[in-house]
Amino acid sequence: MPQTRRKKKTKTVTSAKTRKRAKKQPKFKTEAKSKPTEETPPKIEEKEAKPTEQPIIEKPQETEAPPQIVVKMETPPPTPQPILPPPMPTPSPPIPTVEKKEMPQKTVLKITPESARFKYEVKKIPGAERLMLCFQCGTCTADCPVARFNEEYRPRKILRMTQLGIKDQVLKSDSIWLCAACYTCVDRCPQGVEISSVLRALRHLAVKEGYMPPLFKELGTAILQTGYAFKIPELRIKKRGDIGLPPLPKGNTEDIAKLFNATGFSKLLETSKRS
């Protein structure tokens, strides 16, 4: 037992000695011991860039919207409509009575050998050769100055009747005598028909057949007797002398008579059927 105690004492002595030694011995830095063989580069401390502080701008406070005033309009109650009596039916205007026009009687054309020859008879006369080329476009009638003032005068119609051989109706008509020979239609005809010359040929045939109008008979007779188309009254001849005008030259009736006899016109004047 005492041995164990001794041992214990030694132990405690050593420990005290070591403590003193430890206190006396200079302390070495642990860093030297832990120094690596290679020198580590010095650490560069990276400073983190602090964000610049932004100035805090205070937001303007939202102004409150003014309170809306809702005005409620009260709809007035519907006024009662007076019940009107139904409108009286207006009497319809009287329907004008349309007079029935009598339709013109249809003309039946009878083709006889004579009527069939008529167009060839006309075509033989100089100027009327292109009669059958007319295709009834109506340009001649539209441009004719006489047709403008006379509803009966239609050159296109006369040409068609001639083509169809309605001989008597054409030759007895007054229309063939109305042409003023202005040649407007001739200039405008797309077919080159000499309408004025066709009408002259028809007049020639009408006189031959004895259908000379009374007025033209009077004119022919006056030329044969006096040399003038119109007989000059005696009173007018006397007046000319009173105011100092020279007397009118006398017509050469002898020569005119010879001409009329030679052409057969004197005979035509005598045999004219129309009065």
- Distance of alpha carbon 61 from alpha carbon 67, whole angstroms: 17
| Least separation in angstroms between CB 153 and ligand SF4 | 8
| Least separation in angstroms between CB 210 and ligand SF4 | 24
Q: Which is nearer to ligand SF4, 132 or 256 (CB)?
A: 132
- Distance of alpha carbon 103 from alpha carbon 66, whole angstroms: 90
CB atoms within 10 A of CB 103: 6
Q: Is 159 in the site for ligand SF4 (CB under 6 A)?
A: yes
Q: First vs last Cα of the chain: how many Å apart?
A: 204
Q: Is 189 in the site for ligand SF4 (CB under 6 A)?
A: yes
- Distance of alpha carbon 161 from alpha carbon 146, whole angstroms: 19
Q: Is 200 in the site for ligand SF4 (CB under 6 A)?
A: no
Instruction: Put residue 179 in one of left, alpha, beta given phi > 0 → left and psi -120 to 50 → alpha.
Output: beta
Q: Which is nearer to ligand SF4, 127 or 227 (CB)?
A: 127
| Least separation in angstroms between CB 196 and ligand SF4 | 4
Measured over the CA atoms of residue 218, residue 171, residue 134 and residue 105, the dihedral's sign is: positive
* Of 11, 12, 13, 138, the one binding ligand SF4 by CB under 6 A: 138
- Distance of alpha carbon 202 from alpha carbon 159, whole angstroms: 10
Q: Which is nearer to ligand SF4, 159 or 224 (CB)?
A: 159
CB 193 within 8 A of CB 130: yes
Q: Is 140 in the site for ligand SF4 (CB under 6 A)?
A: yes
Point out which span in 14-22, 30-38, 88-96, 188-196 binds ligand SF4 (CB under 6 A). 188-196
* Of 139, 173, 197, 272, the one binding ligand SF4 by CB under 6 A: 139
* Of 156, 167, 200, 203, the one binding ligand SF4 by CB under 6 A: 156
Angle formed by the axes of helices 195-208 and 113-123, nearest 10°: 120
CB 124 within 8 A of CB 111: no
| Least separation in angstroms between CB 89 and ligand SF4 | 55
Q: Is 136 in the site for ligand SF4 (CB under 6 A)?
A: yes
Q: Which is nearer to ligand SF4, 166 or 193 (CB)?
A: 193
- Distance of alpha carbon 181 from alpha carbon 216, whole angstroms: 16
In sequence order, the 6+-apart residues with CB closer than 8 A to the CB of 123 are 129, 131, 132
Point out which span in 67-75, 97-105, 186-194, 246-254 binds ligand SF4 (CB under 6 A). 186-194
* Of 122, 128, 193, 201, the one binding ligand SF4 by CB under 6 A: 193
Residues that bind ligand SF4 (CB under 6 A): 134-140, 144, 146, 155-156, 159, 179-185, 189-191, 193, 195-196
